[in-house]
Amino acid sequence: MSDSGKQISISKKNKKQLFIALVAAILLVGAVIGIVTGVKSQNKNSGDDSEASAASHAILKRSCSSTLYPDLCFSTLAAPGAAKKVSSQKDVIELSLNITTTAVEHNFFAVKKLLKSRKKLTKREKVALHDCLENIDETIDELHAAVADLHEYPNKKKSLTQYADDLKTLISSAITNQETCLDGFSHDDADKKVRKVLEKGQVHVEQLCSNALAMIRNMTDNDIANASKMNVNRKLKEEVVEEKGWPEWLSVADRRLITKGVSQWLEGRVRANCELTLRGQLVEFCCCCASS
């Protein structure tokens, strides 16, 4: 091969190597940009999640502070993933009711299991356990009804007071059901063992219901108080508008009395003028003047 041929071959080889190096460099830059963008996005999402989590925890703390069992309230509701969508006290109450419903369902299956597994249950114990199942079933219905009411709250279908009364009645009844279930067992040695098996679960649900009731009472009491203040302020504004143009020393009652008297006087004048029986066009003239 001649020298010129060798040079052409080397030139082609160099160009090929340069092209490969250039493509590799472009791919490397693209990969670096992708990694940096991904890290930034991940950090941003992580930051957003941590901010949302901090805000949710603050709402949970504030809501649970009104309950009888605040530690139980917070530990139950702040479980990983449970409080992600919490942004208001209403959200906290709904989350609380849903978690309580799950606990009640667990108790239902525990009673069913007890009825099947215990072969030497007394007649009294069997009756008490079946009564428990009915009470637990009622509790589930009441909790579902409370969640449905909460979804509508506040709504023009019912007043704030009606919503508050209905919600409190439902949760209070749920609490009573847990007590009634345990009351079906005596404290004799025979019943005590069965009662002991159920007691922890029933008391747990009772405390969860108590916390939900406290939060409902706190929310509805505040909403009713705020609505009442708004009504008072609106009435005060209306009175201020009505009172413009009157002397300060004249009371509101006197102003209304005068307004009513003037209206009645004007009506009397119109009636009297229209009843005049003078000649010519005087009657028509008076009626027109009085009407205007």
Q: Phi/psi class of residue 54: alpha, beta or left (left: φ > 0; alpha: ψ in -120 to 50)?
A: alpha
| Domains assigned to the chain | 89-232 (1.20.140.40)
Looking at residue 19, its pLDDT comes to 66
Q: For tokens 């749920």, name the residue.
A: 174
- Model pTM above 0.85: no
Structure confidence by residue, pLDDT tens digits, 197-249: 999 999 999 999 999 999 999 999 999 999 888 876 666 555 554 555 666 66
Structure confidence by residue, pLDDT tens digits, 236-290: 555 554 555 666 666 777 777 777 765 665 566 545 555 544 444 444 444 444 4
Instruction: Tell me: cis bond preceding 154? Omega within 30 of 0 counts.
Output: yes
Q: Contact, 165 vs 171, CB < 8 A? A: no
Side-chain-side CA neighbours of residue 36 (13 Å): 6
C-alpha triplet 120, 122, 124: angle, nearest 5°: 155
Q: How far apart are CA 74 and CA 65, in angstroms?
A: 9
More confident residue, 30 or 117: 117
Structure confidence by residue, pLDDT tens digits, 68-125: 999 999 999 988 766 667 889 999 999 999 999 999 999 999 999 999 988 888 888 9
Residues in the chain: 292
